[in-house]
Amino acid sequence: MVKAGASGAGGGAGGGASGKEEIAAWSMTQAAAGLARGEVTSRQLTEIMLERIAASDNNAYITVNPQALAEADAADARRRAGKARSGADGIPVALKDNICVRGLPTTCASRMLANFTPPYSAAVAERLAEAGTVLLGKLNMDEFAMGSTSEHSYFGPVKNPRNPARVAGGSSGGAAAAVAEDLAYLALGTDTGGSVRQPAAFCGAVGLKPTYGRISRFGVVAFASSLDQVGPITKTVADCAWALSLLAGGDPRDSSSLPHPPADYIAGLRGVAGLADAGGSGYGGGGGNGGGRGSDGDGGRDTYGNGTVFGAGQGGRPRIGVPREYMGEGIQAEVRRAVSDLAAKMAAAGAAVEECSLPRAEYALSAYYVISSAEACSNLGRYDGVKYGYRANNYDSLEDMIRRSRSEGFGDEVKRRILLGTYTLSAGYFDAYYKRAQQARTLIMEDFRQAFQRYDALLIPTSPVTAWRRGADFADPSAVYAMDLCTVSVNVAGLPAISLPWGTDGDGLPIGAQLIGAPLSEALLLRIAHGAEELGAAVNSRRPNAGIGTGPAVGAARDAGAGSAASPASGSASSTGAGSAADAAGDAGAGRSEGGRLDG
């Protein structure tokens, strides 16, 4: 559903349909280089995106920003005057519809907030605006971020652009679908139990969940406050690194935000070379945060595969652990093979890769659903039809009005979580469920702490399966909840993690591989992920690093144009323009469907 300003785009950008397709397939970094060199304007980029949104039938957007073209024109004017706010000035982006933007509807894909327009903007929306980005609109999702398919939306389900008969994942399915279908260069989602990483995996995009507190949650509608975290979905790891640089940092309006200043996450990207040298970025080689690695509790050195030791872990080479608990029963065979293939290729590139163990991993799923449902029950108590949100039309008393408003305003999945949370917090059950879940959380965090004394990152699947069919009838909702097996432990422990595409299954559906880092180790995590991404050029339908290069080149593209008129990007960043975009666009088209007209 698109409610406002769905079209309004003019023609002429990109020199015809073929040129527009190539430009739409650009990464965020490539778009920035094109803007900096004057090869394209922000208005042209925005028009292309708006045209594609209007033509898509995958239901990724709930609301399109009617001021998008005006914002693009303002960005172009700043560049002409040599006053660009940043390298990202003029790049079209989109936000999940639980992120508030002043004056633009924020519905959380729920009837309860279908007509709610916030009087303020979220911190992440403010930071993107300060960087000069153009807001295309608000993205579809599972209602109040509760779900794994983006089918639980008052505005209809999101379709997976790689196969519209399959789910897009959730709850940030609209964000992942928008990036995968070239309907935005950057999309922000929220990740409570995998809701950025899992849909990114299902749609063949890159999704980053930062350390809890790394990005402010101010202005983000809460699901489970101790688990929620905003994260970017992009086409490349470099774009995720850039987005994190724009968004990270403390915020006095969010008491859970961390005061640690953000790093230049792009500068450390080295491509495959980053897999042969951790660069002294912390947990590897006994330097930086955390010092050397200790025992992982397994009583000695592990092997991975059929007794094969993939790496020696000497010098500054990053050391990757592959927890056996996430590579066995319940993992689709093609997914397991893909992650094993990535582990082997990372070892061949110089990383030390070995099997390890997270012995309390089995408790993560149960702990997550108890904690998240309890916090959701509390957070959603405010929606009573009195102050704001949906109010029933017919009722007999105040109590009846509240009951009817909540019954009519919330969907089935939200009601299910509220009931579960109410039960676990009730007298007589609090100690048996909620308290024990928090105790399990502590043990899970300790498992990770011990693992990161020895490893720089952990490698597991993002999802135990690839995208399943839309409308699949799961008689037991817990069967769907079990699909979060590989992602929830990261949120329970507050860790950073990134999902990147690694091949496809027999049906051509993307497979996601997930790298998990220690708290605040995003720079090292992104470096390792960037190397893995380059290794995947041969197995992924979209070649993510085509014409982009490593940290210095990406940094040049990012910085070009900030504070100056359209000036060329320096160094190898010049390869990120239209010439290399043709190659990237050709690969990006594989497996993609043609959308019909979306009625607004």
Give the tens place of pLDDT for each residue, 530-554.
999 999 876 675 544 444 455 666 6
SS (H, E, C) 161-198: CCEEEEECCCCCHHHHHHHHCCCCCEEEEECCCCCCHH
Quickly state the pLDDT bin for 573 (edges 50, 70, 90): very low
Is residue 171 part of the annotated active site? The answer reads yes
Going by C-beta distance under 8 Å and a sequence separation of 6 or more, which residues neighbour residue 145?
A: 96, 98, 108, 171, 172, 190, 192, 195, 221, 223, 228
Is residue 256 part of the annotated active site? The answer reads no
Q: Are 204 and 187 in contact (CB under 8 A)?
A: no
d(Cα 281, Cα 481) in Å, to the nearest integer? 36
Structural domain containing residue 595: 26-269+552-599
Question: Residue 86: what pLDDT?
Answer: 97
Q: Are 498 and 526 in contact (CB under 8 A)?
A: yes
Q: Give SS3 for 578.
A: helix
The catalytic position among 27, 56, 121, 195 is 195
The catalytic position among 20, 96, 138, 209 is 96
Give the tens place of pLDDT for each residue, 282-295.
433 333 333 333 32
- Flag the least confident range among 252-256, 416-420, 552-556: 552-556
Q: Give SS3 for 37.
A: coil
Share of the chain above pLDDT 90, in %: 75
Q: If you count them, how many residues does the chain have?
A: 600
Kindly state whether residue 63 falls inside one of the protein's structural domains: yes
Kindly state whether residue 407 falls inside one of the protein's structural domains: no
Partner residues linked to 578 by β-bridges: none
Kindly state whether residue 408 falls inside one of the protein's structural domains: no
**Sequential DSSP letters for 487-555:** THHHHHHT--EEEEEEEE-TTS-EEEEEEEE-TT-HHHHHHHHHHHHHHGGGTSSS-TTTTT-SHHHHH
Q: Is the pLDDT of residue 494 over 60?
A: yes
Question: Residue 257: what pLDDT?
Answer: 96
Q: Is the pLDDT of residue 454 over 70?
A: yes
Q: Are 515 and 529 in contact (CB under 8 A)?
A: yes
Roughly what angle, to the nearest 10 degrees, separates helices 237-247 and 28-36?
80
CA torsion sign, 481 to 483 to 489 to 491?
Answer: negative
Report the candidate in 275, 312, 274, 315 with the shortest Cα–Cα distance to residue 292. 315
563: amino acid identity, one letter? G
pLDDT (mean) for 461-474: 92
Quickly state the pLDDT bin for 15 (edges 50, 70, 90): low
Q: Is the pLDDT of residue 85 over 60?
A: yes
Q: pTM to 2 decimals?
A: 0.86
pLDDT (mean) for 255-283: 82
Going by C-beta distance under 8 Å and a sequence separation of 6 or more, which residues neighbour residue 71?
A: 46, 65, 134, 135
Q: Are 585 and 21 in contact (CB under 8 A)?
A: yes
Give the tens place of pLDDT for each residue, 315-357.
489 999 999 999 998 999 999 999 999 999 999 999 999 999 9
Kindly state whether residue 245 falls inside one of the protein's structural domains: yes
- Flag the least confident range among 101-110, 207-216, 553-562, 576-585: 576-585
CA torsion sign, 68 to 71 to 75 to 81?
Answer: positive
Question: Residue 388: what pLDDT?
Answer: 83
Going by C-beta distance under 8 Å and a sequence separation of 6 or more, which residues neighbour residue 325?
A: 357, 358, 359, 361, 362
Kindly state whether residue 487 falls inside one of the protein's structural domains: no
Kindly state whether residue 21 falls inside one of the protein's structural domains: no
Angle at 437 between CA 434 and CA 439, to 5 degrees: 115
Question: Residue 539: what pLDDT?
Answer: 67
- Flag the least confident range among 6-10, 22-26, 124-128: 6-10
Burial 470-507 (b: 16+ CB within 10 A, else e): beeeeeeeeebbebbbbbbbbbbbbbbbbbbbbbbbee
Report the candidate in 181, 176, 177 with the shortest Cα–Cα distance to residue 233. 176
- Flag the least confident range among 32-36, 444-448, 537-541: 537-541
Q: Is the pLDDT of residue 300 over 90?
A: no
Question: Residue 480: what pLDDT?
Answer: 85
Burial 362-385 (b: 16+ CB within 10 A, else e): ebbbebbbbbbbbbbbbbbeebbb
C-beta neighbour count of 530 within 10 angstroms: 33
d(Cα 102, Cα 110) in Å, to the nearest integer? 18
The catalytic position among 171, 216, 257, 574 is 171
pLDDT (mean) for 224-230: 98
Kindly state whether residue 358 falls inside one of the protein's structural domains: no
d(Cα 127, Cα 123) in Å, to the nearest integer? 6
Question: Residue 530: what pLDDT?
Answer: 97
CA torsion 52-56-59-63 (nearest 10°) is 30
pLDDT (mean) for 496-517: 97
Number of domains within the chain: 1
Quickly state the pLDDT bin for 507 (edges 50, 70, 90): very high
Q: Are 95 and 135 in contact (CB under 8 A)?
A: yes
Kindly state whether residue 480 falls inside one of the protein's structural domains: no
Question: Residue 198: what pLDDT?
Answer: 98
pLDDT (mean) for 8-14: 45
Angle at 383 between CA 377 and CA 386, to 5 degrees: 145
Q: Is the pLDDT of residue 569 over 70?
A: no
Report the candidate in 28, 56, 65 with the shortest Cα–Cα distance to residue 183. 56
Mean confidence (pLDDT) of the chain:
85
Q: Which CATH number do you get for residue 584?
A: 3.90.1300.10
110: amino acid identity, one letter? S
d(Cα 558, Cα 553) in Å, to the nearest integer? 9
